[in-house]
Structure 1
């Protein structure tokens, strides 16, 4: 059987403060593709929540290949959870390749976000780190050390 065509559209992340989260990711280099308010019967059906009403923004990486959809719930009320730990089952993190990890970490620090432990080097291939960003989102930043 031949495989059907499939491509990743985006990764969706519920956030506490849409403006704060947009500011963080746009400072890292993503651009806002669009914003909208979603609600109505179609949204209730698609998402599986009665009275679904959210403000959304779609952001894209500079290479045009990656997108994240951020949403801040108006109704039903957003539910606070404990941020995901790196070893927990479920949605884990969003990862970005960056040209300069130090510059990216300076941007993150201006927003009040810092590495969980530090910056590591993986087999002289990548320098990488995890940080906890807006709404507790785990963000991995990785800088290639060697060009292919």
Structure 2
């Protein structure tokens, strides 16, 4: 059986703010739509499922995010996930310039949880809170020029 990762889906409180954040980091907006109906209820397992969605693509073409903002039922606010909690954890991106990526994130009010770490002179990396409290890891490979 062949298998391939299709995308990572993330529920957001404000889809436009999330799109702005991820496109500023370098992802491209593939498309937007509104989904609802019996097929959506069945697929998601939620009666009255109605959401705005957006699909974003990484520049290398290998990764996609699907963002969704619920119209119905009303979205339920939760506490942001902590790094040591069980469950869906984070979305991680490789960047060629971590400082530039952090400047972009800061323009969206998103800052490292604690700071920037260096792992064995191989990676500089950090976790930050993106839109809607999403944990985002940014990592720069120090071995590439």
TM bin, normalised by shorter chain, reads over 0.9
Asked if 1:12 corresponds to 2:9, the answer is: yes
Asked if 1:104 corresponds to 2:101, the answer is: yes
C-alpha distance in structure 1 between counterparts of 2:72 and 2:107, whole Å: 31
1:21 aligned counterpart, secondary structure? helix
Q: 1:21 aligns with which of 18, 21, 29?
A: 18
Q: Which runs of 5+ in 1 are unaligned?
A: none
1:92 aligned counterpart, secondary structure? coil
* Number of corresponding residues: 145
CA deviation profile, 1:102-141 (whole Å, cap 9, x unmatched):
0000000011010000000011110000000100000000
Q: Which runs of 5+ in 2 are unaligned?
A: none
The equivalent residue for 2:62 is: 65
Q: 1:145 aligns with which of 135, 142, 145?
A: 142
Asked if 1:118 corresponds to 2:120, the answer is: no
CA displacement at 1:147 relative to structure 2: 2.6
Q: 2:91 aligns with which of 75, 94, 100?
A: 94
1:57 aligned counterpart, secondary structure? strand
1:142 aligned counterpart, secondary structure? strand
